[in-house]
Structures are given as structure tokens and as C-alpha cells.
Homo-oligomer: A and B are copies of this chain.
Amino acid sequence: MTKTCLLAAMLLALATPAMAQDEPPTPDSVVAAAAPEEWQRIAPEDLLVMELAPAADGTGRKVVIQLLPPPFSQPWVEDIKTMARAHWWDGKSVYRVVDNWVAQWGGGDPELGMDPGPLPDGVVSPTDSYMIGFNNMGSTVKASPTLTDHYAPETHFEQGFAVGETIAEQMTWQWPVHCYGSVGVARELAPDTGTGSELYAVIGHAARQLDRNIAVVGRVIEGIEHLSTLPRGTAEAGVYAERSEDTPIVSVRLASEMRQPPAYEYLDTSSDSFARYVEVRANRSDSFYAVPAGGVDICNVQVPIRRAE
């Protein structure tokens, strides 16, 4: 490093696309141009609506979670639905928030002064299986554009969710990955200790090292800011030091059991528009961008989701 200099403006000029007659596409413009049939309705039985106690200024705080649909739903998803139907989370709390990591909620730990109480009838025993396998060897059909990855041999999207994939024993194995907003099943050290009654959402950089180590069961599709803006916990592992710091959960309901459920749709991740969206995200050439990245990581491809009628 004998000489330091600034990059000649020339190089930058080379990287700047010539001004086109038409404004280059943006991720938003691609999504706006998607055909109506490229949008997929999210089933109301896959939507979990968590209402937190209002903020100090009275603002309502609703967090909407899309649970993984079949066949990607993991054994916990059915248990989570059972717990929601039993109103198990009502009166529980968000008790742990770690910056650039997770916000966690549920019944909590008696050792921390919480009283989770017994789980509702019908919740099955925990399991430590958190990959889903398909014997689709030989199939060349891909559900979405494929992205290289640091943490998995391959990543792509299935039914609107980012998944990692590997091949073993002539089977294709897939697993939902941890991106911003992903919701997973908290557990203790042993892999079979998560029941689904304690959940977390990622509120920072993709926590991909958790992939295949903790089960992802869904993602926040609306209201993540009500979790990501919560004060960070100061006790061990980011748990709040005092129970008075917890954010109470008013209710958690399946949209399918609500009188006026919110409705959403996502851009079909096997659609042409989604493929174009990924391409444009990887190669921004609209007015703000002088140097297109030429690539994108799976967690930087947020699946477009919108409210439905």
C-alpha cells in the first residue's frame, strides 16, 4: 500500500448507465406492474395476529405473522395454532429484546419471575426435526430464482418463503432461513426443548447461523416495528431485568377465528414478476444508484406483501 489515491471519476462514469429514454425499473415499479394473478392470497388460518398493549402514547401495536404453509409448516405450526385457539398467549408478554438479534415473547421462565402455566391440551411433544425433505431428485423445476449463499449450498423461495437447500441421500432437503422478521421457536440448549409457546422474531442482520439449529415457523408481515423499537433488555441474554419492563400481550388470534380479520397477499415467488424483482434488486440502475451491486443475498430480497380486500 505504497500509494493511496481516490478512484478516478472516469471509472465511476463508466459504471453509470447512460440516461435512458425510460426511467430504469425499480423493485417498486416491477411489483406495481405485476399481474393480478401473480399475487397469492395468504390463507387466514396461516395468519397469527398478536396485539400488544398500546404504546405509552396510546398507539395500538398489532404484529401480524404469516405461519409457514404446508408442506413447509413444521410440527410446531399446528401446535402454535392450537395455542392461539386456546388463547394461551393472552396476558403473556414480550420479555426479551436484544439489539441486532431478536425480540422474544411467550410465557417465559419461572426462574425469571414469570408464570407460564401449563400448555393447552393438544400440544404435542417437542421435537428436534427442523428440516423438510422431498424425494424430488431428478426434478429440474425451480420455484424461484436461485441464489448462491454463504450458509447453504443453495437458496431460493418456496411459496413465498426463503429456504436453504441441500441434497443428501438422494433427497432434497429444505429449511426456512432466518432473515429480518423471521419468527422461530425459542428453545433451551437441547434441540428438543422448543414447544412453540416461546417465539422470537429477528430484528437485525439475518441470523443465519441459527438456520437448522432453531425452527423457523413464519415471519412478521406487518408491525415488525412494534418489536424492533422495544427497549433492549439489560439482564442476562437480553431479558428485561424487571417484569414491569415487559410488554404485555393483549391477545394472539388466528385470522381465521377473527370477525374482521386482516387479509394479505404476497407476490408469487415462482412468478415472472418475482424473478424480475430479484434481478432488479441485484442490479439497481435507477437514478440513485451509480454502481449496481451485481448480486443480492436471499435475506435482502424481501418478498412483496400487500393488504388484500
**Contact surface of A with B, Cβ cutoff 8 Å:** 1-7, 9, 11-12, 56, 71, 75, 99-100, 127-136, 139, 147-151, 168-169, 173, 179-181, 189, 191, 204-209, 211-213, 224-225, 228-232, 281, 284, 287-291, 293-297, 299-300
Contact = CB atoms under 8 A, between A and B. Distances in A.
A191 B16 CA distance: 11
Contact of A150 (B3, B100, B230, B296): B296
Given A12-B128, A12-B129, A297-B150, A291 B205 contact: no
A204 B206 CA distance: 9
A228 B300 contact: no
A159 B184 CA distance: 36
B134 A211 contact: no
A300 B150 CA distance: 11
Given A2-B135, A99-B225, A9 B128 contact: yes
Given A11-B168, A135-B3, A293 B173 contact: no
22 contacts: A2-B134, A3-B135, A5-B132, A11-B169, A99-B224, A99-B228, A100-B181, A128-B290, A150-B296, A205-B205, A207-B300, A208-B296, A209-B281, A209-B293, A209-B300, A211-B293, A212-B290, A212-B291, A213-B289, A225-B231, A229-B230, A229-B231
> Which of A6, A169, A230: most chain B Cβ within 10 A?
A6
Contacts of A148: 150
A237 to B, nearest CB: 11
A21 to B, nearest CB: 18
A287 to B, nearest CB: 5
A132 B6 contact: yes
Contacts of A6: 75, 127, 129, 131-133
A231 B232 CA distance: 14
A293 B207 CA distance: 11
A132 B213 contact: no
A7 B129 contact: yes
Nearest to A284: B209
Closest 4 CB pairs of A and B: A150-B295, A7-B131, A212-B291, A6-B129
Contacts of A181: 100
Nearest to A181: B100
